[in-house]
Amino acid sequence: MRGPGRWAVLFALVVLAVVMIFPFVIVAMNAIKSPAEYSSQGPLSLPDGLYLQGIVDFWNRAEFGTKLWNSFLISASVAVLAVVLSVLNAYALGIGRVKGRLWILVLFLVANTLPQESLAYPLYYLAKAAGLYDTQLAVIIVMTAIQAAFGTYLLSAVLGQFPKEILEAAAIDGAGRLRALLRIVVPISRPTINVLLIFFFIWTWNEFFLPLIFLISNDTQTVPVALGILQGERYMDATMSSASALLGVLPAVAFFLIFQRTLTRGVTVGAIK
């Protein structure tokens, strides 16, 4: 690409980067300011020094270490379970060609379009009846089902294009369905599966509505719920609010950066195929 078109693309990329990074930079700057410095110089000024007391105070007040562990446990469990369930479902629908496959996929598609607010009332009473209310297991089960619905729909389309010759060759060599899944389908589809794993983790980590309904005890709450409740019930100055926002987003950003190469590779392989 040459000429004005190239510069237009570069300008658009720069603008996009600024729009995405600027709010994070502002939050980070205000998180390391003292309340007096914030009041006198405003939110857009550069900090004069490194003031970490707001971050320490928020960490202790919110018992943030416990909330981080709760979010990690729930997000990791949901990501792994949803991927496993999606692979099994998609293997049956995409390769096994289950009777009524089209209608099952339509059902999964409809499930993805349902607003979570419509699920809150029945899920609340189901959790109460099962004795799982205010437990992390309830959130894990519900979020696994929600994420697996999307994963099944996506992977079914991917595995539907899987080369049948490879599976026929494996069957001739004596490989059963489970062995073909574990030794052939999963390794070849690993880039797509890794992308789903990353997305499921981040989506679950950022989930607020359903954990807010199911987790009412301080010991079971996740990071987004703790941030919302603490800011709503107790007074926090602007610097401590920025510290809470920074601590809430940093784990997800770190997870994304760690697995950025895996995510890029998965998207690229999917595009090439």
pLDDT exceeds cutoff 50 at 4:
yes
pLDDT for position 81 = 96
Among residues of the chain, what percentage have pLDDT more than 70?
82
**Per residue in 141-192, pLDDT tens?**
999 998 998 888 888 877 777 777 777 777 777 777 777 777 888 888 888 8
pLDDT for position 272 = 40
For the chain, what is the mean pLDDT?
Answer: 79
Number of Cβ within 10 Å of residue 248's Cβ equals: 24
Residue range 57-80: average pLDDT? Answer: 89
Among residues of the chain, what percentage have pLDDT more than 90?
14
Question: Contact at 8 Å (CB) between 256 and 198?
Answer: yes
